């Protein structure tokens, strides 16, 4: 399970400090066993811990205790290794064995009790069997081009001027937006070894509902119901992988528009303390409901590579990447493929506040000829997004966030009727419970 980095570090530092006190009170290992080989093995285990080679440290300490079960200092270090590996049950067992030893000094017993309390607190906070996370967003939005219409009333296609029908011309409107969902993480305690450390097997699910309702242009009211579930494998500080099945039921103007069924695999690596690399893919079956939409049915695939770098003590994240899309629609003129490049950042800008921005450029290469005008079609889309988030920590908005964003889309096309410009500005409140 993914947990806040800062919270995890604080808890572990506290526990490690407790064990250092315990070790000092007990004295060095050679006070209990003077053999040079025992001391060397113990020192090697400590070095492995410092180097985050936890599997090696666990093996060395286990072997040392098998031959010398009375080495309480070594047993406490083994408890620390289990704790750092998030094996809370094993950490508790080893620490209790030291606590139950009648030869353990009172000062050390107090330190071990504090360590056991830390284990209990972390287990409740970071390793619950079921973790539920409801969320909600409510806001308003201004949309300069609700119907994605061309910005001109008269367009030139093949040297002929065409007048755009009033219903198809660019139309603006205000909308209310509501987005609510609940996420669930199931932790079956399915641990697995990965090199020198251990990982967690999780099962993650999500239900979400999105609705955008316009004041006047109600034919373009948009609703999306999303259900998502699948396994995840997490090795903290190293990588995270997942595979999810996702269903999206889409409504337009109050009518059933389409059902999208997707398979979404992905993996992200953490490289050092500052770099992240992610791969993500979607394989989607698009099934439209109306009989006049049959040509839009088809298979959609996408793949994305994202590289991120943290700066300023992880208060600034800069990302860049590339994607490739392919839509094999039943109707040839609706088939397209093409790449996208993008870059963006998110940065802490003030206390409890952050700003973000992203810009992407995408190429659409359509097959065949556009049937209405009998011309080939290729589109270039430029999309830019910028916004902010402020998290309230007191008052009547405590634990709520104020979120604002602006998105600009500029689409250029070989077929002029598909050229459009669109601005969407939103402001709302969100909260995760």
pLDDT digits (tens, 9 = 90+) for 59-95: 999 988 988 888 888 999 999 999 888 888 899 999 9
What is the per-residue pLDDT for 158? 61
**Residues forming beta bridges with residue 277, ordered by sequence position:** 269, 307
Name the strand (E) or helix (H) holding 61: helix 54-67
HSE (side-chain half, CA atoms, 13 Å) at 41: 21
**Cα–Cα distance between 40 and 112 in angstroms, integer?**
25
d(Cα 368, Cα 329) in Å, to the nearest integer? 12
Q: What are the structural domains of the chain?
A: 5-126 (1.25.40), 130-432 (2.40.160.40)
DSSP 88-135: HHHHHHHHHHHHT-TTS-HHHHHHHHHHHHHHHHHHHHH--SEEEEEE
| DSSP E strand boundaries for 112-221 | 130-143, 154-157, 160-163, 173-194, 197-214
Helix (H) or strand (E) holding 10: helix 5-26
Task: Please list the ranges in the chain whose pLDDT falls under 70.
Answer: 1-36, 127, 156-162, 165-167, 291
Residues in the chain: 433
Contacts of 101 (CB under 8 A, 6+ apart): 72
């Amino acid at each position: 399970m993914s947990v806040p980095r800062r919270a995890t570090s604080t808890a572990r530092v506290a526990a490690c400090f407790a064990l250092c006190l315990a070790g000092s009170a007990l004295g060095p290992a050679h006070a209990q066993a003077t053999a040079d080989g025992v001391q060397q093995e113990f020192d090697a285990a400590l070095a492995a811990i410092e180097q985050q080679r936890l599997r090696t440290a666990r093996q060395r300490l286990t072997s040392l205790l098998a031959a010398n079960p009375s080495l309480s200092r070594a047993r406490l270090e083994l408890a620390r290794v289990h704790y750092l590996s998030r094996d809370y049950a094993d950490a508790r067992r080893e620490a209790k064995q030291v606590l139950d030893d009648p030869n353990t000094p009172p000062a050390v017993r107090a330190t071990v009790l504090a360590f056991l309390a830390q284990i209990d607190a972390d287990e409740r906070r970071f390793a619950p069997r079921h973790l539920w996370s409801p969320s909600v967003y409510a806001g308003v939005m201004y949309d300069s081009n609700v119907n994605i219409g061309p910005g001109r009333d008269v367009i030139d296609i093949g040297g002929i001027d065409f007048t755009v029908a009033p219903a198809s011309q660019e139309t603006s409107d205000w909308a209310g937006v509501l987005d609510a969902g609940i996420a669930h993480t199931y932790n079956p305690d399915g641990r697995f070894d990965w090199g020198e450390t251990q990982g967690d097997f999780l099962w993650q699910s999500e239900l979400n509902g999105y609705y955008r309702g316009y004041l006047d242009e109600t034919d373009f009211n948009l609703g999306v119901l999303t259900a998502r579930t699948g396994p995840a494998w997490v090795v903290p500080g190293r990588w995270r992988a997942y595979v999810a099945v996702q269903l999206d039921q889409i409504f337009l103007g109050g009518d059933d528009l389409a059902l999208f069924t997707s398979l979404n695999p992905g993996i992200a690596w953490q490289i050092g303390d500052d770099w992240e690399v992610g791969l993500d893919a979607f394989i989607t079956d698009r099934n439209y409901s109306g009989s006049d939409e049959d040509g839009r049915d088809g298979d959609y695939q996408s793949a994305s590579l994202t590289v991120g770098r943290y700066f300023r003590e992880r208060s600034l994240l800069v990302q860049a990447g590339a994607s490739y899309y392919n839509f094999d629609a039943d109707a040839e003129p609706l088939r397209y493929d093409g790449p996208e490049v993008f870059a963006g950042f998110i940065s802490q800008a003030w206390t409890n506040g952050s700003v973000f921005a992203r810009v992407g450029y995408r190429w659409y290469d359509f097959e065949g000829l556009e049937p209405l005008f009998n011309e080939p079609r290729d589109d270039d889309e430029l999309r830019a997004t910028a916004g902010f988030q402020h998290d309230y920590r007191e008052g009547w908005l405590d634990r709520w966030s104020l979120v604002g964003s602006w998105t600009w889309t500029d689409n250029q096309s070989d077929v002029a009727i598909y050229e459009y410009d669109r601005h969407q500005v939103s402001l709302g409140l969100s909260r995760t419970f």
